[in-house]
Chain A
Amino acid sequence: MKNQTYGEKNVAVTGIGMSKISRRADKSALALTIDACMEAIEDAGLKRSDIDGVASYPGADNNASGMSPVGVPQLMDALRLDVNWFSGGGEVPGQLGAVFNAIGAIAAGYCRHVLVFRTVFEGTARKLNRTANASATGGRNYGQIVHYTPYWAIFAAVQQALYFQRYMHDYGLTSETTGRIAVNNRRNASLNPAAVYRTPFTLDDYFNSEMLATPVRMYDCDVPCDGSVAILLSRADAAKDCRNPVLRVESVGCAQKVRYSWDQIRGEALARQATISSSEMMWSRTDLKPSDVDTAQFYDGFTFHTAAWLASAGFCKPGEENDFVGDGSRIALEGQLPINTGGGQLSLGRMHAYGQLHEAATQLWRRGGDRQIKRDINVSINTTAGGPLSGCMMLVKE
């Protein structure tokens, strides 16, 4: 039995909060963040004074991109939180890195209750400036991205298309399969009042959506939005005193064993990206198997990220993604492995893995309303992806 020797097993999700998610918020990013954070604290049955740690990803970027408009210090000050520890930053194993940091802080004994949040304002940013999605501008640039910037590979769809194309080449992934994933997530969003886009579409609609950068179509891409999600993590003994059934962190995967580079990422990883080593770590820290997982809230910044995770997490072999997804029934709400039950980033909005984590807790606590998975469920996995970005984690309802 892989037991308490792994620190994450002593940590639980105890509360969740989500602001209104929209394409154009009617309030500030800080106001959205406060909405999400206060909701999570109240959801757990706690008070502000109970919070002794705060973490966020990727830390305030202090620019007009809308990527990360609110940082940890701003939120802590607004809520007047007195903490033992805090952390905000982007140099972490994937978008869920703030959660892994929080788990570490709790396991180390720094904190009992850590508030983790992710805030985006990309919907408004892009309405104000069409080019807000560019990862570089004129003038001279710094960092790993400079190998891409001169070649107009400064847009996520262009840069991620390179991995998508290679995945198709190496494993035969088809656009029909990625289209089924997009259709599935939109159908789930149609049952989720919080989602940005709720009108169902068909596989034909997917194929007819604008071809942006081969093979990436518009409906392969997530939706820039304004919103904030907060997740409250607590030490397991303290979690028992909170209001909700304990959702224990069963296992975390944060290993980075391909080069952390968008272009030098090696071998199989050019198609599958960094998902392989994080998945191996997650499964090495649990006795559970893929067949024990009741729902997967996969990263879907682009549809093919989800396809890659189906294989990397062990639900099928690489090259079997088309067969696994099939006509979409297996990944549907009623299926063997319901995925992205809240609509995912593709339709709920690009909450950058935190919307999916919110949804995992929502399902395990049976608050899903029209989109609630009907059968009894106890185990979820969450993942992240995108080039060298990768991480994953499992929750178990006790």
Chain B
Amino acid sequence: MQPDAPQRPLPVTNEDTHAFWTGGERGELMIYRCENCRTYVHPPAPFCPECESRKVGPEPVSGKATVATFTVNHRQWLPGLPVPYVVALVELDEDPTVRLPTNIVGIDPEKVTIGMPVEVTFEQVEDLFLPMFQPRKD
């Protein structure tokens, strides 16, 4: 019998990071942004590196992104780990310098390419909503 799939190791959240990991409950990908100069700040930090404003907070983005790089993992590193799976870094449409580690889902892993347009989808684990990305439907 196959062992059960292990649970994804989750983050502890705090005042800065909570919105990123829970915005998916409303279907929103929340990224920190400077209220003053509108720079995106990721990972979430209460300081704008462009204008030094402390007024930086979570705002929803479109969830559209592009695959910057990826790997298809074939090795079952843990008992029950479902393979193959795709790990990718995706760059947000609003600001490609904001790059998110994620899984690419909803596609044959062998068909993922660098430059592929993707959009966010969320997977709930306990109280968190993990941003995943899938091929764009439009």
Contacts and interface: CB of A to CB of B under 8 A. Distances in A.
Tell me if chain B binds chain A: yes
Interface of A: 131, 133-134, 136-142, 144, 146-155, 157-159, 161-166, 169, 210-216, 261-264, 266, 270
Contacts of A264: 42-43, 97-99
Contacts of A144: 43
Nearest to B12: A140
Nearest to B74: A211
Nearest to B72: A214
A216 B23 CA distance: 34
B26 interface: no
B10 interface: yes
Given A162-B69, A163-B69, A153 B87 contact: yes
Given A157-B75, A161-B71, A263-B89, A141 B100 contact: no
22 contacts: A131-B77, A136-B9, A137-B9, A138-B7, A140-B11, A142-B11, A148-B87, A149-B8, A150-B8, A152-B8, A152-B81, A152-B87, A152-B103, A159-B87, A161-B73, A162-B69, A162-B71, A166-B68, A210-B75, A212-B75, A214-B73, A270-B89
A4 to B, nearest CB: 37
Interface in B67-90: 68-75, 77-78, 81, 85, 87-89
Interface in B47-77: 68-75, 77
A140 B17 CA distance: 14
A150 B10 contact: yes
Contacts of A148: 87, 101
B114 interface: yes
A159 B8 CA distance: 16
Nearest to A271: B69
B76 to A, nearest CB: 10
Contacts of B89: 162, 263, 270
Contacts of B11: 140-142, 146-147, 149-150
Residues of B contacting A: mostly: strand
Nearest to A265: B99
Given A138-B7, A140-B11, A146-B12, A169 B114 contact: yes
B70 A162 contact: yes
A152 B85 contact: yes
A151 B87 contact: yes
B37 interface: no
Contacts of A169: 69, 114
Contacts of A163: 69
Contacts of B39: none
Counting chain A CB atoms within 10 Å of each CB, the highest count among B8, B11, B99 belongs to B11
Nearest to A161: B71
Ordered nearest first, which 10 A-B pairs have the shortest CB separation? A146-B11, A161-B71, A149-B9, A166-B69, A136-B9, A213-B73, A140-B12, A212-B75, A213-B71, A150-B8
A150 B9 CA distance: 5
Contacts of B12: 140-142, 146
B43 to A, nearest CB: 7
A152 to B, nearest CB: 6
Contacts of A210: 74-75
Contacts of A157: 75
A161 B71 CA distance: 6
Contacts of B103: 151-152
Given A139-B10, A150-B11, A150-B128, 7 more contacts: A137-B9, A141-B9, A146-B10, A153-B101, A162-B70, A213-B75, A270-B89
Given A152-B85, A162-B89, A213-B72, A138 B77 contact: no
A263 to B, nearest CB: 5
A214 B71 contact: yes
Contacts of A215: 71
Counting chain A CB atoms within 10 Å of each CB, the highest count among B77, B98, B99, B125 belongs to B77
B118 interface: no
B6 interface: yes
